[in-house]
Amino acid sequence: MTNAAHSQSSADTTSSTAPQAAPLETLLALVKQDLQQVNETIIERMQSPVALIPQIAHHLISAGGKRLRPLLTLATARLCGYQGSDHIKLATCIEFLHTATLLHDDVVDESDLRRGKSSANAIWGNQTPVLVGDFLFSRAFELMVEVGHLPSLGILARASSVIAQGEVLQLLTANDTTTDEDAYLQVIQGKTAELFGAACKIGGEVSASPADQVQALYDYGNYLGIAFQLVDDYLDYAADQETLGKTVGDDFREGKMTLPIILAIAAAKTTGKDDELAFWNRTMEHLEQTDDDLPHALSLMKAYDTLEATRVRAREYGTRAHQALSGFPDGPYRRALAEVVDFCIERAY
């Protein structure tokens, strides 16, 4: 991978024995100036003469998100030696696409909390956040056209299509206790992993990197995204609600088929526990739930160790993400991207 060989900035001379900051702090320090420009572009481009649009967009964008996806675009571009400025607008596109999907998700899921704050739909109802999400999608494509980099436009256009398909597929699998692990992985590949992969891939494309590097960056982001969503689905049952910033057990209450429950149902089928299958059918398919049902569901997940099994799957995809970076030369950007994998898997929120 010859292009990556001169991809590292003067920061590459940083000693590997230097004190280690928290993973996202390391990445934030490396792209601090770039991220500041992204934040400025976000504020500028979410403005509208229709006052409610920036109000709702600001409500979500300023709610304490980690900016992980745009950070990945900035870091992968610098990893590949990019010296231009188009990655700023492309990273902003990524954040707008992500924010738009969150607005739509909260409406579909009827969520009351997002990052510990009232969700937009809880404050303004369903119609306006959906339309503001559409506005952010449109803003993202305006920025893409301004950049004028056709490969990046193709990547983000495809990602938008795949994300929408993933969301529809999730609706089709919701409340369906016959959903298996393969179908679940299809859902999270679309709704989460594709944008992670696209965020990393455009960092390579805008840098005019060789095809094998671009593919490796997509693989890294894709595997990271799958691991991230697996951990999210684990945390929905295992996290502290205040730390998580949303209601624990929401997936259960919504009848959302995520891996901890899919594995528990599979175990009940294997062991012939008809009473457990009847429980899952009542609570997940028919959404006939009592106050005692979530604790009982958690006890079944604990009995079959499905929460830990979900984390094991996340670690497996984390290993693949690490391997995707193996062809790039050592340096602070590669190390920071590798540390992000571990952060995403071990995080508590």
Q: pLDDT tens for residues 187-206?
A: 999 999 999 999 999 999 99
The number of residues making up the chain comes to: 349
**Better pLDDT: 109 or 285:** 285
> What is the Cα–Cα distance from 89 to 145, expressed in whole angstroms?
10
pLDDT in tens, 160-190: 999 999 989 988 998 999 999 999 999 999 9
- Give the contacts of 316 (CB within 8 A, at least 6 positions apart): none
**pLDDT (tens digit, 9 = 90+) per residue, 80-114?**
999 999 999 999 999 999 988 888 776 666 666 55
Q: What is the pLDDT of residue 345?
A: 92
β-strand partners of 118: 113
pLDDT at 269 over 50: yes
Domains, the chain = 20-346 (1.10.600.10)
Q: What is the pLDDT of residue 84?
A: 95
Mean pLDDT of the chain: 87
d(CA 348, CA 344): 9
Q: Above 60 in pLDDT, residue 115? A: no
Please give the pLDDT value at position 104.
Answer: 73
Look at residue 348 in the predicted model and tell me its pLDDT: 64
Residue 16 has pLDDT above 80, yes or no: no
Q: Count Cβ neighbours within 10 Å for each residue of 83-114 and write b for 16 or more, e otherwise.
A: eeebbbbbbbbbbbbbbbbbbbbbbbbebebb
Percent with pLDDT over 70 in the chain: 83
CA 253 → CA 31, 110, 330, 339, distances in Å?
Answer: 39, 11, 45, 34
In the chain, what's the furthest Cα-to-Cα distance? 63
- The pLDDT of residue 292 is above 80: yes
pLDDT digits (tens, 9 = 90+) for 201-225: 999 999 999 999 999 999 999 999 9
The predicted-structure confidence for 226-260, as pLDDT tens digits, reads as follows: 999 999 999 999 876 555 556 778 899 989 999 99
- Each residue's pLDDT tens digit, 116-148: 566 666 666 667 778 888 889 999 999 999 999
The whole-angstrom separation of Cα 129 and Cα 305 is 38
4 has pLDDT over 70? no
pLDDT interval class at 12 (50, 70, 90) = very low
Measured in whole angstroms, the distance separating CA 114 from the mean position of its chain's CA atoms is 14
> Could you identify the residue written with the tokens 């088929």?
257
User: What tokens were used for 168?
Assistant: 């529809």
